Structure 1
Amino acid sequence: MSKPRWWAELSLIAVVYAAYSGGRLLVRGDEASAVAHGLGILRVERALGIDAESPLNRLFTDVPALGVPADFAYASLHYLVTPALLIWLFRRRPAEYRAARTWLTVSTLLGLVGFTLLPTCPPRLLDPAYGFTDTMAHFSAYGWWGGEASAPRGLGGMTNQYAAMPSLHVGWALWCGVMLWRYGRTPAAKALGVAYPLLTTVVVMGTANHYLLDAVAGAAVMGAGLLLTPHALRFVGRLRGRAEAPPVVSGGCETSTGERIPGQRSVTTSADDTSTWGLPCPSGAEDSGKAR
Structure 2
Amino acid sequence: MNARTEPSEAETAIARPPLVRELLLVAGLFLVYKFGRQLATGHTAEAFRNADRVWDLERAVRLPGEGSVQNLLLHGDTLIHLANTYYATVHFPATLAFLVWLYLRRPAHYVWARRVLAAVTAAALVVHLTFPLAPPRMLAATGLLDTAEIYGPSVYGSPQTDHLSNQFAAMPSLHFGWALMVAIGLIVATRSRWRGLWLLHPLLTLVVIVGTANHYWLDAIVAAAMLGAALAVIHLPARTPVTAGKPLPGARDKEPDKQRDKETVDEDSVLVGAAR
TM range (shorter): 0.7 to 0.9
2:104 to 77, 88, 91: 91
Distance in 2 of aligned mates of 1:58 and 1:138: 14
After superposition, the CA RMSD in angstroms is: 2.3
1:131 to 136, 143, 152: 143
Distance in 2 of aligned mates of 1:173 and 1:145: 18
1:15 to 11, 17, 28: 28
CA-to-aligned-CA distance 1:193-231 (integer Å, 9 cap, x gap): 111111111110000000000000111111122233259
1:218 to 223, 228, 234: 223
The offset of 1:147, in angstroms, is 4.8
CA contact (8 A) 2:135 2:214 kept: yes
Distance in 2 of aligned mates of 1:116 and 1:73: 27
The offset of 1:156, in angstroms, is 3.4
Distance in 2 of aligned mates of 1:144 and 1:54: 19
CA contact (8 A) 2:84 2:154 kept: no
Match of 1:200 in 2: 205
- TM-score normalised by L of structure 2: 0.75
- Mapped pair 1:59 → 2:72: yes
* CA spacing shift, 1:208–1:103, aligned 2, 3 Å: same
Distance in 1 of aligned mates of 2:60 and 2:76: 28
Distance in 2 of aligned mates of 1:79 and 1:180: 16
How many residue pairs are counted as aligned between the two chains? 225
Distance in 2 of aligned mates of 1:19 and 1:97: 20
- Mapped pair 1:190 → 2:203: no
CA contact (8 A) 2:40 2:168 kept: no
- TM-score normalised by L of structure 1: 0.71
1:177 to 183, 206, 212: 183
Q: Which runs of 4+ in 1 moved over 6 A?
A: none
CA contact (8 A) 2:15 2:107 kept: no
The offset of 1:155, in angstroms, is 8.1
CA contact (8 A) 1:58 1:133 kept: no
Letter matched to residue 79 of structure 1: F
CA-to-aligned-CA distance 1:108-150 (integer Å, 9 cap, x gap): 10110110111000001112x531100100112xx3645548x
CA contact (8 A) 2:173 2:219 kept: yes
CA-to-aligned-CA distance 1:149-199 (integer Å, 9 cap, x gap): 8xxxx98331000000101111000100101211234344431x1111111
* CA spacing shift, 1:59–1:97, aligned 2, 3 Å: same
* CA spacing shift, 1:168–1:144, aligned 2, 3 Å: closer
Aligned 1:268-283 pairs, distance under 5 A: none
The offset of 1:56, in angstroms, is 1.2
Match of 1:246 in 2: none
Match of 2:172 in 1: 166
Distance in 2 of aligned mates of 1:38 and 1:105: 26
The offset of 1:27, in angstroms, is 1.4
CA contact (8 A) 2:132 2:170 kept: yes
Distance in 2 of aligned mates of 1:88 and 1:34: 38
- Segments of structure 2 that go 5 or more residues without pairing to the other structure are 1-13, 238-276
* CA spacing shift, 1:7–1:23, aligned 2, 3 Å: same
